[in-house]
């Protein structure tokens, strides 16, 4: 007994790429498709448009837990128009490095998106990885990034370690990791939120600027706002000459290490650099 012949190939009119076309245009497209693909046994072809401007998520076990990565993957797949039934097949196209190598070796055992999440968590978000992530959170200190960037990243990072932690606890940890000059000049805080801490730090910067103008010194501080790393240390403008951070170019003969020696430098009468209060660790 002969089997039922497959229906003629046609484009899925529900596909996002064909939305809005008139019935006459859809009929014309299907007519051309039948002529070119007759006998190919392709009953339905779904056309999707990939948005190359949406960057795929990249898993970083140091700062991201698996649940957060899965959420970002699902958002990415939805933005590209992929159905959920294909998530476990499409995820291999965005994995990188050791995660891609692991996927290529276990793809045969993954039959659904839930299977992938269980296997991925067991390999890349186990108890050892979570403990290492927690140690990194508790040991991180502010370096050259701005206060805004450091505090925001620390609060976000804390959610990757413990999503039930209150904001005040996360902000308090970020405050304790700020540059030591900022901690000394800021003092205690009544309420701990990201906004209140940044407002308090703005007053702290003003106070340090006023102190440097009185003492004719320069105090190195990281930037207050912004998400781009500065090319060098930030100095406050002293003496009213409007050169501010440009003074760093005049500081020759030393590799700047703000944590190695004093960060305040007295001025001489001609507004040139004086000598550091302590000898540089690289000097003889």
User: What does the pLDDT read at residue 14?
Assistant: 59
> In terms of Cα–Cα distance, which of 184, 151, 174 is closest to 264?
184
Cα separation values, 252 from 52, 215, 231, 249, 266, Å: 46, 22, 16, 7, 16
217-219 and 44-45 beta bridge pairing:
unpaired
The structure's pTM equals 0.62
pLDDT in tens, 64-120: 999 999 999 999 999 998 999 999 999 999 999 999 999 999 999 999 999 999 999
Contact 236, 219 (CB under 8 A): yes
H or E stretch including 281?
none
Q: In angstroms, rounded to a whole number, what is the distance separating the alpha carbons of residues 46 and 13?
A: 8
User: What does the pLDDT read at residue 23?
Assistant: 79
- Interacting residues of 81 by C-beta distance below 8 A, sequence separation 6+: 16, 48, 49, 50
243-271 per-residue burial string, b: 16 or more CB within 10 A, e: under 16: eeeebbeeeeeeeeebeeeebebebeeee
Which pLDDT band holds residue 34 (cuts at 50, 70, 90)? low
Question: Which of these ranges, 41-55, 164-178, 202-216, has the smallest mean pLDDT?
Answer: 41-55
Q: In angstroms, rounded to a whole number, what is the distance separating the alpha carbons of residues 48 and 82?
A: 8
Question: Which of these ranges, 19-28, 196-205, 239-248, has the smallest mean pLDDT?
Answer: 239-248
DSSP code string of 40-107: S---EE------TTSPPP---TTT--HHHHHHHHHHHHHHTT--GGGHHHHGGGT--HHHHHHHHHHG
- Interacting residues of 48 by C-beta distance below 8 A, sequence separation 6+: 15, 16, 17, 80, 81, 82
């Amino acid at each position: 007994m002969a089997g039922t012949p497959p229906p003629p190939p046609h484009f899925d009119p529900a596909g996002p790429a064909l939305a809005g076309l008139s019935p006459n245009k859809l009929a014309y497209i299907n007519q051309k498709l039948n002529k070119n693909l007759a006998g190919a046994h392709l009953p339905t072809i779904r056309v999707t448009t990939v948005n190359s401007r949406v960057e795929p998520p990249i898993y970083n076990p140091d700062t991201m837990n698996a649940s957060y990565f899965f959420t970002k993957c699902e958002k990415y797949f939805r933005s590209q128009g992929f159905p959920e039934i294909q998530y476990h097949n499409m995820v291999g196209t965005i994995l990188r490095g050791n995660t891609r190598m692991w996927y290529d070796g276990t793809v045969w055992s993954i039959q659904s998106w839930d299977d992938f999440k269980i296997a991925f968590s067991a390999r890349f978000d186990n108890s050892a990885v979570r403990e290492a992530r927690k140690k990194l959170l508790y040991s991180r200190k502010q370096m050259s990034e701005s206060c805004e960037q450091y505090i925001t990243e620390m609060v976000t990072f804390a959610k990757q370690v413990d999503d039930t932690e209150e904001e005040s606890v996360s902000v308090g940890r970020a405050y304790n990791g700020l540059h030591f000059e900022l901690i000394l000049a800021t003092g205690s805080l009544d309420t701990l939120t990201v906004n209140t801490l940044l407002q308090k730090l703005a007053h702290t910067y003003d106070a340090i600027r006023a102190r440097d103008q009185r003492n004719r010194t320069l105090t190195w501080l990281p930037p207050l706002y912004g998400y781009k790393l500065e090319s060098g240390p930030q100095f406050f403008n002293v003496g009213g000459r409007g050169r501010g951070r440009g003074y760093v170019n005049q500081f020759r003969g030393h590799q700047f290490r703000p944590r190695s020696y004093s960060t305040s430098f007295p001025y001489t009468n001609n507004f040139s650099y004086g000598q550091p209060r302590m000898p540089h660790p690289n000097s003889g």
